[in-house]
Structure 1
Amino acid sequence: MSRIQVWSLLGLAAIIWLLALLAPILMPFFVSMILAYLGDPLTDWLEAKGLSRRLAVSVVFLVLSLAIGTACLILIPLLGRQLAQLIEAIPIILAWVQSTVLPWVQSVSGMDFSTDFDQLRQTLMANWKETGTFAATLLAQVSRSGLAFLVWIANLALIPVVTFYLLLDWDRLKRHIQNLLPRRFEPTVTRLAKECDEVLAAFLRGQLMVMLSLGIIYAIGLTLIGIQFGVLIGLVAGLASIVPYLGVIVGLAIAALVAFFQYGDLLHLAGVGAVFAVGQMLEGMVLQPLLLGDRIGLHPVAVIFAVLAGGQLFGFTGILLALPVAAVVMVLLRYLHERYKNSTLYDVADQRGGNEDT
């Protein structure tokens, strides 16, 4: 291993160690980087239409702010009401399970779970009563740790400021980084950066739009057929759609249970199936070809592992970075695989395999 490779590995290890130390304060900067990355193509398009960079950034920043603010104003009250309804329905659901489901399970399997379930129900109900004081407990905790609360508010306030300045200087930062690269490695690094950009665009732009669209489709469809918690179920199914087929499996199972408990007939169960069938057809025929094209994403197992590993190592910041980092790693692994296939080491291994076959 050459001296340059040794120093490169040491520098990478130092960067990872530094990121781990600074993880508690990095969240607003990473969120701002994601927002700036999402908004940069529209900014470049407006700039190509004749607007100055500052004016184009101001327009995009206003559009992002209005979109996020409108979504919060619409979703938060809806989700709050549906969560309140869910909390009120929990005791009824538990009583229904105890009186209907458990006797059926006992008649089919011969196993009696009523005692264990009764203990679980009593434990849940005892803790459920304490949730009424959650707001008071939260306020008391905030008053005792006012500094931490102020830091949290300051981090949130930093996001729009950092996003604005990153959008303003995004292209300039890319040019500076490209100019700093050693001329020997600049073409290769530039090519890899473009491949990373394609994969990141597929995830951060295309996949997020697919998830949002599916969540809206499921929420509207379930609400139209009268399913309780339709918005909440649609949101969960849309978020779970980051892993192929997981969203439809989770959403369909939850919605079917709610429909059966709410109506108890086959008509609404068929309606739930129709909603998710329409969502899957639109995803396969319209959303993915339009928003993702033929770009190859990460394997579902890689997505799950990346999210869990990022959360375990760096908390919420790691979850935000998990998929972008995994996408970049996938591009680098493809590059290393290509280098290996074109290397003399692979040729020697291939020749040995051919000699053994003969």
Structure 2
Amino acid sequence: MLRTLRGLAHKYFSDEEAVILFLLLVAGTAFIIWFGAMLAPVIASLIVAFILQGLVTKLNRMGVPELVSILGVFTVFLGVMVGVIFGLLPLIWTQVSKLAGETPRIVREMQSYLELLPEQYPQLVSADAVNTIYQQVSTEVGHMTQLLVSFSLSSIPDLVALLIYVVLVPILVFFFLKDREVLLNSIARLLPPQRPMMLRIWHEVNLQCANYVRGKALEIVIVGGATYIAFKFLGMPYAALLSLLVGLSVVIPYIGAAVVTIPVAMIGLFAFGWGTHFIWVMVVYGVIQALDGNVLVPVLFSEVNNLHPVAIIVAVLFFGGIWGLWGVFFAIPLATMLKAVFAAWPVEYSVPEPAEDEAKA
């Protein structure tokens, strides 16, 4: 057993940099677990600045001065942020409130659909099973309605937190963009002067994660925008709310698309019933999903080593269990970062010489 542990330590931690990097990763993970909620605005600002840095770099390569590039990209970011806060969020909230008000009618219509199942398929569905399903759905709908009411009654702390984000995040994003080199050099002073392995891992992680995060941000905008235009053209109710869900679903491949299909199908069914209009809605939705998976994703992530579907599911379950909804949201970037670290980690394949006591034995 001791010899096996020595072999593993020699294989993966024979380099001093590997030991230092391992300790830094453990300390950073513990710091985020314990202080992540407190520093949430800083973490959110880092992610936004990480996404925007790609645009700044591209403008610099086109000959635009760095300060002008930063100011231009930051101005666009502020415009998008203002549009989301004063345009998209009120529309989403209005549609959520309207959907909550129409929930009783949707439940009654669902009950009428369920009551027909025992008559059409008596060997597969019983009346008792239909009543059990209806009672469970009614209970869950009641809980959701109570949560919506309680949220509206206790929204003052949430509004204060939102105001903190609105004020702090733009300021932090600007300084992260403007003083990026200064901050990175300050961190580099804390590391060993000779760190070729760390630089190689940093380059790999930066390449993989930057391409993935920026590609996902662009994919969310394209898929969500295309879905909104298609649903508005087809007269689909709650188009803004559903397009937001469809856009965010691309963050979690496979699982997100499967989950968001349920509300799209249910709202389309209750809005149009079984008919040609409902079929057209589902066909258009399926075409958007197919184009996203077969055209958009290969174009946006051509430089990224895609994760295996099993790795994606494991990452979602693991990080979701640790950090809840935020863990699910950032599961794929975190898994991509870990994959990049493992790919660049130095491995010593030579067998270590046995110790003197082991040789005598």
For the pair 1:138 / 2:154, whether they are aligned, the reply is: yes
1:216 aligned residue: 225
User: Alignment partner for residue 74 of structure 1, among 87, 94, 114?
Assistant: 87
Q: Deviations over 1:94-121 (max 9, x none)?
A: 1122223233146412512354355446
Secondary structure at 2:78's aligned position in 1? helix
Task: Give the CA deviation at 1:196.
Answer: 1.1
Alignment of 1:174-193 (within 5 A): 174-177=184-187, 181-182=191-192, 184-186=194-196, 188-193=197-202
For the pair 1:167 / 2:177, whether they are aligned, the reply is: yes
Secondary structure at 1:339's aligned position in 2? coil
Contact 1:311 1:317 in 2 (8 A): yes
Task: Give the CA deviation at 1:65.
Answer: 0.9
Compute the TM-score of the two structures, normalised by the length of structure 2. 0.77
Amino acid at match of 2:271: Q
Change (3 A) 1:130 1:207: closer
Q: CA RMSD, aligned part only?
A: 3.5
Whole-Å Cα distance in 2 between the matches of residues 193 and 95 of structure 1?
A: 56
For the pair 1:339 / 2:347, whether they are aligned, the reply is: yes
> Structure 1 stretch 214-223 or stretch 237-246: which is displaced more?
237-246
Contact 1:32 1:162 in 2 (8 A): yes
Q: Which runs of 5 or more residues in structure 2 are unaligned?
A: 1-8, 352-361
Change (3 A) 1:184 1:131: closer
**Matched residues, number:** 336
Whole-Å Cα distance in 2 between the matches of residues 182 and 122 of structure 1?
A: 61
Change (3 A) 1:160 1:123: same
Change (3 A) 1:309 1:26: farther
Alignment of 1:188-203 (within 5 A): 188-203=197-212
Alignment of 1:120-139 (within 5 A): 120=136, 123=139, 130=146, 133-134=149-150, 137-138=153-154
Whole-Å Cα distance in 2 between the matches of residues 242 and 162 of structure 1?
A: 24
1:261 aligned residue: 270
Whole-Å Cα distance in 2 between the matches of residues 149 and 272 of structure 1?
A: 36
Alignment of 1:137-156 (within 5 A): 137-138=153-154, 142=156, 153-156=163-166
Contact 1:306 1:323 in 2 (8 A): yes
2:241 aligned residue: 232
Change (3 A) 1:218 1:49: closer
Contact 2:253 2:312 in 1 (8 A): no
Q: Counting helix residues as a fraction of each chain, which structure ranks higher?
A: 1
Whole-Å Cα distance in 2 between the matches of residues 128 and 310 of structure 1?
A: 25
Change (3 A) 1:36 1:184: same
Whole-Å Cα distance in 2 between the matches of residues 128 and 320 of structure 1?
A: 22
Task: Give the CA deviation at 1:254.
Answer: 3.2
Whole-Å Cα distance in 2 between the matches of residues 314 and 200 of structure 1?
A: 19
Q: Which has the higher contact order (CA 8 A, sep 6+)?
A: 2
Q: Quick one: percent identity of the two aligned structures?
A: 24
Amino acid at match of 1:158: L
Secondary structure at 1:256's aligned position in 2? helix
Task: Give the CA deviation at 1:307.
Answer: 4.2
Contact 1:221 1:275 in 2 (8 A): yes
